Amino acid sequence: MRGILIAFEGIDGSGKSSQASLLKDWIGLRRDVYLTEWNSSEWIHDIIKEAKKKNMLTPITFSLIHATDFSDRYEKYILPMFKSGFVVICDRYIYTAYVRDSVRGVSLDWVKKLYSFAIKPDFTFYIRIGAETALNRLKKARKTIKPQEAGSDIFPNLDPEEGFLKYQSLITEAYDKISKENNFIELDGNKNPREIQMEIRSKIGELIDNSF
Amino acid sequence: MIIAFEGIEGSGRTTHLNIAKKYLEEEGYGVITFGLQMSKLMGERIRQVKKNIVFERRTLFLAYVTDLADQMENVVKPSIESGFIALADGYILTLLSWGLIRGLELNWMKDVLSIFPEPKITFSLISSPEEVIKRIIKRDGYLDPLKVGIDICIREDVFNAFQEYAEKFQKYLVDLSKDKAIVVNTTNSIEEVKKEIVMHIENI
């Protein structure tokens, strides 16, 4: 049985993590499944956190350290699991790096080469939602906007909410630019979560069902 | 400008870098040094986790690159701009040799490394594997498997493992050095090697 790679992309507050996790539970009833999040390598995660806090990163080192984090999860989990037939769900994949790095002024061409070792997903779900809607959702769920959600490294002088709107709008523009060439399946993030989940399941259902 | 000293562990990189540094300082130049696993961001951490990720070659390569980039952005570039000479203790050719021997794609590595400025001069230091091993043993007391490429040569004997590793590594380094670097054999005495290096940097 061949592995299946599913990626979720979208701005912070788009609801993609909930969708990824709902999908994982559903697939888990049928197949071996693994969910991995961006920026979660066991040994690099805390270096990144510390470096961001101390404002140590430049656009290039921001890019490279996230690539190292990705590569660690890729070599350790994603690739071996994919090869052995798992359904691997990635809450953010290489496209997150494409948009975040290019928004910080790093050449997109170089970033693409940097990540050229990664296999392309079978499905990339791009949950598209306005920055304002995303902000309101996050505000409802918790009190504060995290500095990295507000792009505090590139907009140090904006207050968190303003920063969020500006940064996430830039990210959306960058996603829109690469959407077509990377076969993103665009989903309207304004629909209710159940509707979105059903759309996702119907897109991949056939592949999952026929793979027994 | 950057002057790079490339070579395997034990090739005399650090020794000859320090000698060149002293020479250049006596000549009145401001000199800084940087190199592999020396960044504030990652250097120490790579040492700590290396044994866990020694078979994750791409990750380790990217960690080395991140480590180098941190020094480049925060220390090397500003220093060069204000007129310093930056001496690299391991730079592009060392990383490429390291990756080639582990099967990473040359073009991919070159693309990733294209963010780094070309050195003004590159010295590729080579020596016989036996000599290199002797130096490491003298310095560390023993051959640390993690430093000697145990991940590519699973052998019962660290000596044979490293001999093969050093031969292959240095073959790649010499190949990469064509038109790019001055190959210096450090099996010769320190004084002779110094003369050879100074000959190339006295009129920079």
Please report the domains of chain A, with CATH numbers, ordered by start residue.
Answer: 4-209 (3.40.50.300)
For B34-48, the pLDDT digits (tens) are: 999 999 999 999 988
Residue A212 has pLDDT above 50, yes or no: no
Domain CATH for B133: 3.40.50.300
Asked if B110 reaches chain A (Cβ–Cβ under 8 Å), the answer is no
Mean pLDDT of chain A: 94
Q: Which residues contact B82 (CB under 8 A, 6 or more apart)?
A: none
Cα B183 to its chain centre, rounded Å, is: 13
Q: Chain A contacts of B111, Cβ < 8 Å? A: 110, 113-114, 116
Contact flag B66-A58 (C-beta cutoff 8 Å):
no
Q: Are B114 and B151 in contact (CB under 8 A)?
A: no
Query: How much is the average pLDDT of A91-116?
Result: 98
State the pLDDT at residue B192.
Answer: 94
Per-residue pLDDT, A209: 66
State the average pLDDT over residues A120-127.
98
**Low-confidence winner among A141-150, B13-22, B23-32, B47-56 (lowest mean pLDDT):** B47-56
Range of the domain at B88: 2-201
Q: Across residues A40-53, what is the average pLDDT?
A: 89
pLDDT > 60? residue B128: yes
Mean of pLDDT over chain B: 92
Secondary structure E strands in B23-120? 31-35, 85-89
Mean pLDDT computed over A34-48 = 92
pLDDT of residue A210: 58
d(CA A185, CA A64): 27
Tell whether pTM > 0.80: yes
Mean pLDDT for A164-169 is 97
Helix B57-71 with B43-53: angle, nearest 10 deg: 180
Judged by a CB distance cut-off of 8 A, whether residue A68 touches chain B is yes
Say whether residue A110 is in contact with chain B using an 8 A CB cutoff.
yes
- In this predicted structure, the answer to whether residue B92 has a pLDDT above a threshold of 90 is yes
**Among B58, B74, B107, B109, the residue to mutate for chain A (most A Cβ within 10 A):** B58
Chain A neighbors of B41, CB-CB under 8 A: 47, 51, 56, 61, 65
SS3 state at A86: coil
Task: Using the predicted structure, report yes or no on whether residue B60 has a pLDDT greater than 80.
Answer: yes
Q: State whether residue A56 sits within 8 Å of chain B by CB.
A: yes
pLDDT for the residue B157: 61
Strand partners, A6: A89, A123
For the residues B147-165, what does the mean pLDDT come to? 69
**Among B98, B115, B26, which residue's Cα sits nearest to residue B64?**
B98
Domain count, chain B: 1
Nearest-neighbour CA in chain B from A203: distance (Å):
33
Hey, what's the torsion of the CAs at B124, B129, B131, B132, to 10 degrees?
A: 60
